[in-house]
Amino acid sequence: MTTDSSHKDMTLGEALRSQGISRRGFLKFCATTASMMALSPAMIPKIAQALEQARRPSVIWLSFQECTGCTESLTRSYSATIESLIFNTISLDYHHTLQAAAGSHAEAARKAAMEENYGKYLMVVDGSIPLGNPGYSTIAGISNVDMLMETAKGAAAVIAVGTCASYGGIPHAKPNPTGAVSVSDLIHDKPIINVPGCPPIPVVITGVLTQYLTFGVLPELDDLGRPKAFFGQAIHDRCYRRPFYDKGLFAESFDDEGAKKGWCLYKLGCKGPTTYNACATTKWNNGTSFPIESGHPCLGCSQPDFWDGGGFYKALSIPTEDITRDIIYASAAGIAAGVAIGVMNKTKKTSANKKHQKTTIDDLEK
């Protein structure tokens, strides 16, 4: 990323030209940007005009309870591509995975960026924040919650990248041992944009930055805080297998005739009908395909609590668990449902250990 101080006052257009990007290249960038932002191609000249004059924002990126998959998604998948230009031309002043500085030097860089750009910088967060015990996750001896709240004070806006930062994600899954919460559980006085996904589609991350740079305002959000441009439609609505769903043609297993003919994966647990994301049109691996195109049901990773949805391979129409039957005695004894689920999971784990046989879909549901 460019951190040369002489570039800090450049507009985005100037920064791109200084990298030898021609106007044709810039138009190409704007055309693909409009496409990824689901904007009409008629918007291309307006995007070009706005981006030309946009100033490079200071970005402070905080990583908390996460697997680094979100950063990997952004930096690996789209290295040396047009989308990476946006990432390269922001002033990324703090990102403890990517920066060379460490320890007190890194923290000094964060504080310097905060002071210099107070009220104007963007704060990007990936990972959930543990509230159970501050010692579960610290950076330079600072607890995640303290660093989040301190850095948020001077931020113009907060972008929660990934399902962990947006909704708690996998650390928040039952029984949530660290007391993990999302960014929006803690910050209530700043605009927050959720960019969920496990990981999010890289161009969606850069698309949100581009939207902010282009229009100077935050994108329109849905009721879960996600930009409508990318999360406005269900996977199911944009899925090329949708006509099979409408005709009632389903794959019943991963290797039956229906699977080979590319029929709908609904009965194999596809969460496309209840999942809002851009996978079906933006796709993954530089537009190669998306999970359903590769023959696997959508897991619903951009939705809150997707890990506790009752099973990746159960159709949406099947009740998640027969909780009433298993916890009836527990309930009668006044034990909370959460404890009962924990008991049920332990029983299943013991049972699975005893069986110790070849893994099947049924096993995955146990």
Partner 1 sequence: MNALAQFNIQIGDELTWNVQPILHEVRHALKHLIDSGETAIIDLRSIPLAPGEEQKLIDTLGNGEVHAGLNALGPSEIIETRFAGVWLVTHYNEEDSIIGRFIEITELPDILRSQREDMIAALDALEKQLISDQVPETNDTTSEADQ
Residue burial 7-35, b: 16+ Cβ < 10 Å; e: rest? ebebbbbbbbbeeebeeeebeebbeebbe
Q: Select 45 or 338, whichever has its Cβ closest to partner 1.
A: 45
Closest approach of Cβ 254 to partner 1, in Å?
A: 12
Q: Select 41 or 310, whichever has its Cβ closest to partner 1.
A: 41
Q: Select 66 or 83, whichever has its Cβ closest to partner 1.
A: 83
- What are the tokens at 141? 């001896």
Query: Cα Rg for the chain, rounded, in angstroms?
Result: 23
Closest approach of Cβ 248 to partner 1, in Å?
A: 15
CA distances from 96 to 27, 61, 103, 165, 273 (A): 33, 8, 9, 16, 37
CB atoms closer than 10 angstroms to residue 200:
30
Q: Which helix (H) or strand (E) holds 152?
A: helix 144-152
Where would I find the beta strands (DSSP E) of 189-268?
A: 192-195
Q: Select 75 or 281, whichever has its Cβ closest to partner 1.
A: 281
Q: Select 168 or 272, whichever has its Cβ closest to partner 1.
A: 272
Closest approach of Cβ 79 to partner 1, in Å?
A: 9
Closest approach of Cβ 128 to partner 1, in Å?
A: 32
- What are the tokens at 301? 């990773």
> Residue numbers of the site for partner 1 (CB under 8 A)?
17, 21-25, 27-29, 31-32, 34-36, 38, 41-42, 44, 80-83, 85, 238-243, 260-262, 280-282, 286-288, 293, 295
Q: Select 5 or 288, whichever has its Cβ closest to partner 1.
A: 288
273 burial (CB, 10 Å; 0-12 / 13-18 / 19+) is: middle
Closest approach of Cβ 283 to partner 1, in Å?
A: 9
